[in-house]
Structure 1
């Protein structure tokens, strides 16, 4: 019995050391700030960070598990039938923890690129995915290719400031294929014309062959990135919200229970169809207070195979009553 107890103590110590290292190195907190956040003395915080270094947990990234996060990952995988889930410790009070999610998303993407397989990675766009690319170190990816999963121009035909495909190509030297059209066509007829263009059709055909689809999750709230970037007009998004739309994944909307939500906007989306997203390896990077309802909506849809999120969001998802 005493041996088991000692093992648990060691696990708790390792978990706390990993958390302290996350806050210090990824979160940018000083050792005294780490101590205050974790309710420890400054000396104890210093020893934990030193332990993380001595145990080899701190490299370019922080390689270790926080026990509380692992428990949340297990619960989310079980509840939403996920093959992969990563919950990162929170280290800021922002409604949208871009740094925490960006670091974790970059780490995941780097692992996928470095597998050495000839992999086609389809990517969405948005603030969170842009943060992932920002924290991705320059990584040679001679066997990887990237392809846009949806249009990346705004209504004014200017570049989406959160389009990530060009930055991915620049960081990795990999081939990248873009869709040179807006995310939403002006009319259904315009959509058909654009989809019929040779270059556009070929890119979407490539997107359908993606081994991994890396996506963000959008909200229909006022803070929606689609509205802020000019991809969607505010009255259009308000119409979606009034009708019951809650979450958005790769241009498609879902209600609070995860059921597909079709709005007039849906018929004009320049993206893969819902039928092309079913039973695919879709991993979303999303979290933050403003996204909790949207993330839950998309999880309930059962389109996702994987989720990278923050601890606060994960806890809210786990504590919520399951739908049905």
Structure 2
């Protein structure tokens, strides 16, 4: 298996962009050592699109506004640099600048902006690859003993793109109830997939995300097994979460967790973004809804001053992400370039 990497020490580096691809038996990655900064940045972008995004050289050229010959030369230049690694070790300078802007504007301790592969409304592949690499790094560092995990398509994609990784004594715990009203629409059960990929101990909450009534929630919450998992979630070293919308097309509606009438009521209350079942308006202010007292999740008090990293992006979620960022509950964000540009505007 051939593995390629370009490492450019002249490009500002904050994070690593990692990607694995199985095209013609190759796995490739990029960085650069002898190219000018601008050309190195463009080479990194071209290589990311070609190897991780699976675009042909002609598609890369069209995407970057280059001639096919120029795109070919950029990719060949990366190959000729000759450093071999399993992941992309180069940063696109434009993305680094966006990381710095978002970190400054929203008070983030960690921010990773990944190049887009295409114009999808929800760039699951790009976000999934980066989310997977972030999680894998956390596990391999061995400093995060307990990771709390949220829900959603983006987190599910992160697990899908994560290779089998030894748990390194890391444990996982669900941050919210995960049973749905529609079994056939069982949401992205990332906690089970994580346990399968890592062999780690994983703890789930055997309750729905939202109870039918406040009384039902109180009864279930009084069960010792449920309380023990909640207490464990409160002690997690890292919370890895997704961000939801308050639109009619929201995943919470699609998976049968809540009814259309309930999301419409949330909209009327000003709901824009959702984090672990908590809804926020466009200014990041929490809103109370009919669901607030029926939710099986960590309370807002439990989310304060925590290491909480969201993996979220896409045009359809920009408003929701901005709302959750405004709440001050996030310490980190992994997002795509287009979304980052909108958030930084």
Q: Please, what TM-score do these two structures have when normalized by structure 2?
A: 0.87
1:260 aligns with 2:281: no
Change (3 A) 1:57 1:310: farther
Are positions 1:309 and 2:309 aligned together? Answer: no
Aligned-residue CA RMSD in angstroms? 1.7
Q: Is the 8 A contact 2:185 2:256 kept in 1?
A: no
Which piece of structure 1 moves more, 22-31 or 286-295? 22-31
Q: Report the secondary structure of 2:69's partner residue.
A: helix
Distance 1:10 1:178 in 2: 50
Partners of 2:122 and 2:293 in 1: CA distance? 29
**1:68 has 2:94 as partner:** yes
Once the two structures are superposed, the pairs formed by residues 1-324 of structure 1 within 5 Å of their partners are: 10-55=36-81, 59-117=85-143, 119-156=145-182, 160-319=186-345
SS of aligned partner of 1:139: coil
User: Which is worse superposed, 112-121 or 122-131?
Assistant: 112-121
Compare the two structures and name the one with the higher helix fraction.
1
* In structure 1, C-alpha distance between the alignment counterparts of 2:172 and 2:185, rounded to whole Å: 18
Which residue in the other structure is 1:322 paired with?
Answer: none
- 8 Å contact kept, 2:128–2:154: yes
Please report how far the alpha carbon of residue 243 of structure 1 lies from its aligned counterpart in structure 2 after TM superposition. Answer: 1.1
What is the Cα deviation at residue 54 of structure 1?
Answer: 4.3
Change in CA separation of 1:263 and 1:55 when aligned onto 2, cut-off 3 Å: farther
By how many angstroms is 1:156 displaced?
3.8
Q: Deviations over 1:201-229 (max 9, x none)?
A: 11111101111000000000122011111
* Cα distance in 1 for residues equivalent to 2:194 and 2:171: 10
Mapped to 2, the partners of 1:54 and 1:121 lie a distance apart of 40
**Aligned pairs, how many?**
313
Distance 1:35 1:305 in 2: 36
Residues 190, 65 of structure 1: alpha-carbon distance in 2 compared, 3 angstrom cutoff: same
Aligned-partner Cα distance in 1 for 2:64–2:149: 36
* Segments ≥4 residues shifted beyond 6 Å: none
1:186-210 CA distance string (max 9 Å, x none): 0111111111111111111110111
Name the structure 2 match of 1:4. Answer: none
- Between the aligned partners of 2:80 and 2:292, the Cα distance in structure 1 is 53
Say if 1:55 and 1:263 are closer, same or farther in 2 by CA, change over 3 A.
farther
> How far 1:55 moved relative to its partner?
4.2
Structure 2 distance, partners of 1:56, 1:311, is 28
Deviation string for 1:22-42 (max 9, x for gaps)? 111111101111011111122
Which stretches in structure 1 are left out of the alignment for 5+ residues? Answer: 1-6, 320-324
TM-aligned CA distance change 1:237 to 1:58, over 3 Å: farther
Q: TM-score, normalised by structure 1?
A: 0.93
Indicate the SS of the match to 2:113.
strand
Give unpaired runs (5+ residues) of structure 2. 1-32
